[in-house]
């Protein structure tokens, strides 16, 4: 043990060793010192007894320093079959949106300047105009995500007042977005009405009083209630709101700008329909079905939007130039392109021809089989993709996958091997196999893993 301790160099000795020269030239000294200290501490505490070799120390150091340069989040391949996967970054941007972001990232832009008059302008103006044109609303605004859009709406319209919500719509969307908590944190009080499975118009009507701020309708994005159910429709609720002079807000969640049934996809609520149905404000996400960057939209009546746009919270929740330029480019496609289902990746993947997906799956299967060897069973199989992000949670779209299994390795071990690829490949495990849904795969070469490590290397 003493011999080992004696073999551990000091930080300075290692730094001045010729072996470390390439690292000393490539990285700043404080970083090298920090990393060497940490490494030497680990070596001192380890139970190993053999003397340490400087060559090994430098090699480990080199690997750790290289790892620090790995970008995060890391680009991955989405073979999960969920087109809008929240954990994988949701919508992919259209090429024109990517170009727009790059241009404003690299140079100055007219974010808040009216280039005709030279006077101060509004950063949302262009997106608002597009949203007005696309939804038929009187006005619109944009914040960081739909969660903040809901916070802004509740806080601007119901601060210190009650927000009336059906018990069937008190949803939790992913980890920490829960309607009751969001209402409380927005400075309003939740007034639950109805029951989990049935809420009637009179439940809302009975709850309205001098302390009512808004009536809130929430799209139950990630679940469905079946059986003996009844919910109040938006037109009914909007009529009640008008009669009693209480604003009606709808949190639409995904919120499609075009009717998906036009593309033979499961129908999702369309924003313009909610506007037409009389909602005073509608909130929805930018990176779900819309297919743009993370953002939260509010569209609705002019007077209601004015209250939100002048709130100090609006300033705290405002978007940056990159988000706004990507959103603007995306909305432009909705207005001006004649082949939206080609230029908007979300729609392109959702509407992708099954024969094309099958061809990708066959090509990928051939390469994967070659790479992994004959011990693996690699087959093209039918599977079901999902839209994701709370859009039509129970609806699926027929797709094709490469399904892989091995008599000696669990599907979880196979999944982990694919995630270890240079560009990690994310599939899913089910029915004793590892599945790579090819719906969102443009190039079969993206699905080829490293060779399976020989037993000795594992």
User: Which among 58-66, 126-134, 140-148, 158-166 is the span making contact with ligand PLP, rule CB under 6 A?
Assistant: 140-148
Question: In angstroms, what is the minimal distance from the CB of 148 to ligand PLP?
Answer: 7
Question: In angstroms, what is the minimal distance from the CB of 278 to ligand PLP?
Answer: 19
Q: How many CB atoms lie within 10 A of CB 440?
A: 27
d(CA 452, CA 458): 10
Question: In angstroms, what is the minimal distance from the CB of 392 to ligand PLP?
Answer: 11
Closer residue to ligand PLP, CB minimum distance, 237 or 372: 237
Query: Is residue 219 part of the contact set for ligand PLP (CB under 6 A)?
Result: yes
Question: In angstroms, what is the minimal distance from the CB of 194 to ligand PLP?
Answer: 18
**Among the listed residues 296, 345, 411, 427, the single contact to ligand PLP using CB under 6 A:** 296
**Among the listed residues 113, 132, 177, 367, the single contact to ligand PLP using CB under 6 A:** 177
Query: Is residue 253 part of the contact set for ligand PLP (CB under 6 A)?
Result: yes
Question: In angstroms, what is the minimal distance from the CB of 283 to ligand PLP?
Answer: 7
Residues touching ligand PLP: how many (CB under 6 A)?
Answer: 14
Question: In angstroms, what is the minimal distance from the CB of 300 to ligand PLP?
Answer: 16
Q: Measure CA 94 to chain center.
A: 15
**Among the listed residues 35, 285, 392, 399, the single contact to ligand PLP using CB under 6 A:** 285
Query: Is residue 146 part of the contact set for ligand PLP (CB under 6 A)?
Result: yes
Angle, helices 321-336 vs 125-135, to 10°: value is: 30
Question: In angstroms, what is the minimal distance from the CB of 294 to ligand PLP?
Answer: 6
Which residue number places its CB atom closest to ligand PLP? 253
d(CA 222, CA 244): 31
**Among the listed residues 251, 268, 328, 437, the single contact to ligand PLP using CB under 6 A:** 251
Handedness of CA 285, 288, 293, 299 (dihedral sign): negative
Query: Is residue 395 part of the contact set for ligand PLP (CB under 6 A)?
Result: no
**Among the listed residues 76, 130, 218, 426, the single contact to ligand PLP using CB under 6 A:** 218
Closer residue to ligand PLP, CB minimum distance, 27 or 177: 177
Query: Is residue 221 part of the contact set for ligand PLP (CB under 6 A)?
Result: yes
User: Which among 33-41, 135-143, 218-226, 354-362 is the span making contact with ligand PLP, rule CB under 6 A?
Assistant: 218-226
Q: Measure CA 376 to chain center.
A: 33
Query: Is residue 145 part of the contact set for ligand PLP (CB under 6 A)?
Result: yes
Question: In angstroms, what is the minimal distance from the CB of 131 to ligand PLP?
Answer: 15
Structure tokens at 203: 């439940």
Q: What are the start-end ranges of the H helices in 256-395?
A: 271-276, 302-309, 312-316, 321-336, 340-343, 345-350, 354-372
d(CA 435, CA 449): 13
- List Cα–Cα distances, 169 to 11, 185, 376, in angstroms: 60, 18, 46
d(CA 172, CA 167): 12
Question: In angstroms, what is the minimal distance from the CB of 394 to ligand PLP?
Answer: 14
User: Which among 139-147, 269-277, 415-423, 439-447 is the span making contact with ligand PLP, rule CB under 6 A?
Assistant: 139-147
User: Is the Cβ–Cβ distance between 364 and 437 less than 8 Å?
Assistant: no
For 42-106, the DSSP string reads HHHHS---SPPPHHHHHHHHHHHHHHHTS-SSPP-EE-SSEEE-GGGTSPPPPHHHHHHHHHHHH
User: Is the Cβ–Cβ distance between 95 and 343 less than 8 Å?
Assistant: yes
Question: Which parts of this chain interact with ligand PLP (CB under 6 A)?
Answer: 145-147, 173, 177, 218-219, 221, 251, 253-254, 285, 296, 390
């Amino acid at each position: 043990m003493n011999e080992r301790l004696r073999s551990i160099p000091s930080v300075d000795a290692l730094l001045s060793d010729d072996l470390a020269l390439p690292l000393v030239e490539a990285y700043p000294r404080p970083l090298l010192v920090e990393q060497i200290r940490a490494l030497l501490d680990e070596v001192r505490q380890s139970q190993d007894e053999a003397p340490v070799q400087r060559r090994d120390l430098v090699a480990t150091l080199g690997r750790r320093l290289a790892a620090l340069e790995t970008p995060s989040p890391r680009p991955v391949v989405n073979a999960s079959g969920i087109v809008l996967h929240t954990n994988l970054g949701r919508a992919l941007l259209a090429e024109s949106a990517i170009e727009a972001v790059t241009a404003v990232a690299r140079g100055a832009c007219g974010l808040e300047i009216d280039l005709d008059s030279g006077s101060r302008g509004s950063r949302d103006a262009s997106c608002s105009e597009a949203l007005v044109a696309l939804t038929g609303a009187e006005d619109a605004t944009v914040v960081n995500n739909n969660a903040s859009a809901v916070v802004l709406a509740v806080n601007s319209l119901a601060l210190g007042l009650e927000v009336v919500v059906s018990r069937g719509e008190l949803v939790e969307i992913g980890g920490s977005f829960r309607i009751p908590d969001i209402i409380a944190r927005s400075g309003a009080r939740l007034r639950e009405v109805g029951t989990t499975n049935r809420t009637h118009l009179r439940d809302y009507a009975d709850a309205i009083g001098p302390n009512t701020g808004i009536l809130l309708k929430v799209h139950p994005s990630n679940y469905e209630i079946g059986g003996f159910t009844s919910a109040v429709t938006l037109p009914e609720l909007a009529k009640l709101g008008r009669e009693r002079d209480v604003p009606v807000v709808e949190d639409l969640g995904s919120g499609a700008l075009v009717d998906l049934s036009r593309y033979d996809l499961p129908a999702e609520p369309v924003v313009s329909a909610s506007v037409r149905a009389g909602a005073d404000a509608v909130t929805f996400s930018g990176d779900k079905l819309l297919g743009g960057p993370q953002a939260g939209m509010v569209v609705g009546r002019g007077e209601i939007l004015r209250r939100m746009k002048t709130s100090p919270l609006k300033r705290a929740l405002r978007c940056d130039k990159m988000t706004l330029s990507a959103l603007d480019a995306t909305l432009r496609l909705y207005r001006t392109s004649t082949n939206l289902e080609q230029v908007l990746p979300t729609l392109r993947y959702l509407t992708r021809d099954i024969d094309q997906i099958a061809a990708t799956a066959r090509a990928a299967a051939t390469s994967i089989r070659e790479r992994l060897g004959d011990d693996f069973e690699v087959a093209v199989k039918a599977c079901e993709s999902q839209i994701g992000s709370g859009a039509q949670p129970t609806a699926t779209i027929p797709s094709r996958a490469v399904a892989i299994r091995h008599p000696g390795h669990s599907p979880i071990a196979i999944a982990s091997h694919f995630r270890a690829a240079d560009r990690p490949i994310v599939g899913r495990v089910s029915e004793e196999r590892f599945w790579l849904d090819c719906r969102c795969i443009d190039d079969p070469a993206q699905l080829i893993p490293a060779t399976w490590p020989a037993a000795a290397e594992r």
